Structure 1
Amino acid sequence: MNRSMICVAAAAAYFASSFAGQLLFAQGSPNDTFRDAVSLVNQHGHVIVLSGAEGGASIAVWPAMQGRVLTSSATGPDGRGFGWVNRDLIESGKVQEHINAVGGEDRLWLGPEGGQFSVFFAHGQPFDLAHWYTPAPIDTEPFDVVRQEKSSITLRKTFHLSNYSGTNFDVEINREVRLLTTPEVWKDLGIEAADNVKVVGFESNNKLTNMAATGWSKTTGVLSLWVLGQFQSTPDSTIILPIRSGPTAELGIPVTTDYFGPVPADRISVRSDSVFFKADSNYRAKLGLSPRRSKGLMGSYDATNHVLTIVQFTQPPNVTEYVNSAWKIQQDPYSGDVANCYNDGIPAPGKPQLGKFFEMESSSPAAALAPHASVEHTQRTIHLVGDSTTLDHIAQATLGVRLAEVVAFHP
């Protein structure tokens, strides 16, 4: 394990021991329906439900929590909610000091998280969780609703940030969340519709604008858009990462596996064109894909409930500089990942885990924006519920894998 990974692992253990009694993270119910989640939040705030004209597809957007998509359903209000929801934290009504992890399957952060250009650490502070703070504009502050329609909502936020090196940023974020129609879902997947499959699809388009009169420089730090999704896990959940085949000398390692130490061999399978990763919330681990290996999509399969999830994201061709979020002063601050996935678990013996969830996330490139210039990043999430045979055809056509192989890897 390299020094940055040791730092992260030690910080995680410190975090769990220091904040376990403060409702910072909680288990959440694996059986929450869409209606349960909406009802819970509406007792303490207000979510906006966007519903389609057919099939029961619905998403719940929470403007007061940065316009995140808290959860979604393919089968109406009483259907399974796909997003992980931190019920205990929401019910407590408390505001936490370091992060307010209420959950959600599409939430917006800004990178980098660590390093000399971090926006999570103040200048001169050590890179540990005692000094790590999620910036309020992407943690506790609301986004303003600019426009709301039946199937979309547009939000805006203007704010100031400073990074670890003392560089100041005046930024504006414009975020549009849109529920996809069923025909759009199948078009985005590039396959013919399957009538016996229930679907819900949505996307967030996020635009970051430099509002200052001066441009950003990579020598003093830039920002990136970072979209993260937390999903309810089951004992039979598996993350699927398609990867570009090719030699390490040309494309780099197939996948980064040592964020929190080595991943046990029975929890990961690295193939020539894909990676399987157990997402059962029983072992804490994280993976990363470099822009040279990523294909601009990833997915998961829940064999218990026959749910295939596909996440697509924008990835500009021939762009290789992404912010590096390692918690240390970095030699190469633009060697970061374009996509990551995470499986939760116990951080240390006797310590509580964050929750029964896994994550899939993606980032925009590092952009040295001129005054009033912008960078955009879109992440699209599609859930498909159906019989295993039909879902297998979809998985082969989109992710390039057979579900029988996924199930065999994760019996």
Structure 2
Amino acid sequence: MSLNHYRCFLSAIVCAFIGLLAGCANHESGQTAASATGRKTFGDALSFLSKHKEVIVLTAPDNDSAQVVVVGAYQGRVMTSTANGAGGTSYGWVNDKLIAASRYEPHMNAFGGEDRIWLSPEGGQFSIYFKPGAPFDFDHWQTPAIIDTVSYKLVSKNKSEARFSQTATLYNHSGTRFDIGIDRQVRVLSQTQISRLLGVNSLEGLKVVGYETENTVRNRGDDWQRDKGVLGIWILGMFIPAPQTTIIAPFTKQRTAALQLTDNYFGKIPSERLRVQDSVVLLRADGKFRSKIGIAPASARPVAGSYDPDKGILTLVQFDLDPAGDYLKSSWEMHKQPYRGDALNAYNDGPLADGSQMGPFYELESNSAVRPLKRGEALVHHHRTFHIEGDRNALHRLTRTVLGVDLNQLPTWPDANRP
């Protein structure tokens, strides 16, 4: 299949997926697919989630205003967070309608959340989303229950940390069996830890919440073999878009002269939505046009972010990165080079041709490097999320330090009413 044919094929599959998922919701409720949450405060989000699932609220060791909501029934997922207590902004995108419906959808359940664990690869001969011999199409695509509907067991918790675990048996598209255990620890960070991780001396003038998830996949079965497939850890965060929000993905030229960027997952992204500058990729995150980028490990930096100038909210993510490591590809096709995937992905949601939409939301995603694990060995991947509000000059200094970007140089995107 040629590259152009594959682009059309993949775009059609994804469109069918979201369209059919929306159609299922419409049939059941008579409403359109879930829209972005209308809540403005963390307290509202917490109240809503508490009505439907058991929640755990974690707070920073030194700041009770920095809070995080975790739901064990959603695989120990961080649903939302705030830097300013109950009356502060709720940062995570939450799929109100799906959660309130108290039912499971076919294929996958997009409950939302700022940090959820998935496993890779999604497509290819090592995929765990397609049964052995199944074609790579929507009808045969199924998210494994261990990362979709299975509740994780709470192992321990205190004021600032919670740990969850679960086990599963999976088979990939080639028929290889995986017996695994998953451990997931969520910890809210102190101001001192945040300053150290961001490489700054002070957070004066800023309201900050930061948390880290430590994600572990342990091999409980036979030794993994590279030619029969391995598993990777994939962390995805869903956030609330805004007309002028920009995703900021810095890259390096120290390891490869040319930027290794994939920007055609759903077709060409218009220039008024994607900008590539000397050391950063900028993608509009308004939730009005479906687009996705991926940066290979040789070009990626272990950090990315987004900025909403209207609300003055800076979001940062940090993650483990092995520039020379193997990363799994997830496109829905057989792969000639299955270990040449992305380290970082970013996605902007948007409506389909019929006007239906799962979100709107945008995503910041990181992937782990992978290796064949012997029985008892484990793969560990850390992913951190920070939300920062406050003095604009302080935000400027922080962004230059962490992302190498001046906020004043971010684009002013065209009329928000245009797609």
TM-score range, shorter chain: over 0.9
Is the Cα contact below 8 Å between 1:204 and 1:380 reproduced in 2?
Answer: yes
Is the Cα contact below 8 Å between 2:292 and 2:345 reproduced in 1?
Answer: yes
Structure 2 alignment gaps of length 5 or more: 27-32
Q: Equivalent residue for 1:257?
A: 263
- Give the counterpart letter for 2:363 in structure 1: E
Q: Equivalent residue for 1:11?
A: 13
Q: Equivalent residue for 2:364?
A: 360
Q: Find out whether 1:369 has 2:377 as its counterpart.
A: no
1:80-91 matches, cutoff 5 A: 80-91=89-100
Count matched residues. Answer: 406
From 292, 313, 331, the equivalent of 2:298 is: 292
Q: Distance in 2 between matches of 1:317 and 1:352?
A: 38
Shift of 1:318: 2.7
From 124, 135, 144, the equivalent of 2:144 is: 135
Q: Distance in 1 between matches of 2:182 and 2:17?
A: 30
Q: Find out whether 1:222 has 2:222 as its counterpart.
A: no
Q: Equivalent residue for 1:77?
A: 86
Is the Cα contact below 8 Å between 1:55 and 1:76 reproduced in 2?
Answer: yes
Shift of 1:409: 5.5
Shift of 1:34: 1.4
1:88-99 matches, cutoff 5 A: 88-99=97-108
Shift of 1:43: 1.2
From 310, 316, 324, the equivalent of 1:310 is: 316
CA RMSD of aligned residues (A): 1.6
From 239, 261, 267, the equivalent of 1:231 is: 239
Q: Equivalent residue for 2:214?
A: 205
Q: Distance in 2 between matches of 1:407 and 1:267?
A: 10
Q: Equivalent residue for 2:30?
A: none
Q: Distance in 2 between matches of 1:6 and 1:407?
A: 29
Is the Cα contact below 8 Å between 1:303 and 1:407 reproduced in 2?
Answer: no
Q: Equivalent residue for 2:333?
A: 328
Is the Cα contact below 8 Å between 2:300 and 2:323 reproduced in 1?
Answer: no
Q: Distance in 1 between matches of 2:86 and 2:138?
A: 38
Q: Equivalent residue for 1:339?
A: 344
Is the Cα contact below 8 Å between 1:55 and 1:74 reproduced in 2?
Answer: no
- Give the counterpart letter for 2:400 in structure 1: Q
SS of 1:342's partner is strand
Structure 1 alignment gaps of length 5 or more: none
Q: Distance in 2 between matches of 1:385 and 1:188?
A: 17
Is the Cα contact below 8 Å between 1:237 and 1:303 reproduced in 2?
Answer: yes
Q: Equivalent residue for 2:390?
A: 386
Q: Deviations over 1:362-393 (max 9, x none)?
A: 01112111111111000000111013222111
Shift of 1:5: 2.9
Q: Find out whether 1:406 has 2:410 as its counterpart.
A: yes
Residues 195 and 27 (structure 1 numbering): CA distance in 2 closer, same or farther, change over 3 Å?
same
Query: TM-score, structure 2 length as denominator?
Result: 0.93
SS of 2:262's partner is coil
Q: Distance in 2 between matches of 1:392 and 1:409?
A: 19
Shift of 1:187: 1.1
Shift of 1:343: 0.2
Q: Distance in 1 between matches of 2:232 and 2:253?
A: 27
Q: Distance in 2 between matches of 1:6 and 1:252?
A: 26
- Give the counterpart letter for 2:356 in structure 1: P
Is the Cα contact below 8 Å between 2:41 and 2:90 reproduced in 1?
Answer: yes
Q: Distance in 2 between matches of 1:328 and 1:379?
A: 28
Query: TM-score, structure 1 length as denominator?
Result: 0.95
Q: Deviations over 1:151-175 (max 9, x none)?
A: 0001111110001111000000111
Identity %: 39
Q: Find out whether 1:244 has 2:248 as its counterpart.
A: no
- Give the counterpart letter for 2:83 in structure 1: A
